[in-house]
Amino acid sequence: SYNCLDRHLDTIGDQVAYHFVGEPGDTRDLTFRDLYEDVGRFANALKSLGVERGDRVAIYLGMIPELPIAMLACARIGAVHSVVFGGFSADSLGDRIRDAECKVLVTADGAWRRGDVVSLKEAGDDAMAGSPSIEKCVVVRRCGNEVAMQDGRDVWYHDVVDGQPVECEPEVMNAEDILYILYTSGTTGKPKGIVHTQAGYLAGVMTTHKYVFDVKPDDVYWCGADIGWVTGHSYIVYGPLANGTTGVLYEGAPNYPGLDRLWQIIEDYKVTIFYTAPTAIRAFMKWGDQYPAEHDLSSLRLLGTVGEPINPEAWIWYN
């Protein structure tokens, strides 16, 4: 938390950390100072809910700024976060909460996906029903849909951060203390909790982010993964923020409201580094060459691809 936020304040505090683009078209820019303040408030809010060093916190959110804020707030107070991809079912969420013995769930009323609301809180309620370790649930108001709130357990994010001080002294952690637990997808059996520790992980993602992507101070970098996967943890949150890089955070689907959504965002924010997956590239090819052709993509200088081997046809098209 200190390396991603505090140490940048005197030098690049007013630089944008995230250009957030919501699926319905709402946008929000957060500077490193904004992020530092939001993280401090939520870290103090978690403390007020009884979260202590070593406690586990489950995070089940769409791609909104409160997701990296929640991760960094946990890191700041020495709590272990376990992010569960927002597309996972209530059963999958419940399995992970119980295995990690999470004390708090951070979720939202819903998440936007292709113009519809994915009801995260409803799935969260089902998951918490069979999870005795859960004491509190923090709910971000994102979509404005009706949700049930259980007295004594559920609190609104905006209520719990209201009036919290920005200053929150970061917990001093040992190199081998746990930073987070992220579960495998469970396609070959029970999901396994993979532990990432403090120092080695941060050094690894800072180094690979900086050198693999040739990141320069004025770059606008966009990793199109979901933070729910390890790529997102490493190359949307910890690596880029520790390196003081301006990033794009997009909430929705790549083909909503139009098949050119991603290219439009690249043009709007003059993205210089774009990082996606071969599966996505093959989808772009199928949709047609006219969509990228309609936009000014001249700002791009580096393209990344991840997660699986890329076939020659997809590489040639992308390049």
Do 231 and 237 contact (CB within 8 A), yes or no?
Answer: no
Q: What is the pLDDT along the chain (319 residues), one digit of tens a residue?
A: 999 999 999 999 999 999 999 999 999 999 999 999 999 999 999 999 999 999 999 999 999 999 999 999 999 999 999 999 999 999 999 999 999 999 999 999 999 999 999 999 999 999 999 999 999 999 999 999 999 999 999 999 999 999 999 999 999 999 999 999 999 988 888 899 999 999 999 999 999 999 999 999 999 999 999 999 999 999 999 999 999 999 999 999 999 999 999 999 999 999 999 999 999 999 999 999 999 999 999 999 999 998 789 999 999 999 9
pTM: predicted TM-score of the whole model, two decimal places:
0.97
Nearest to 164, CA basis, from 46, 261, 246, 318: 46
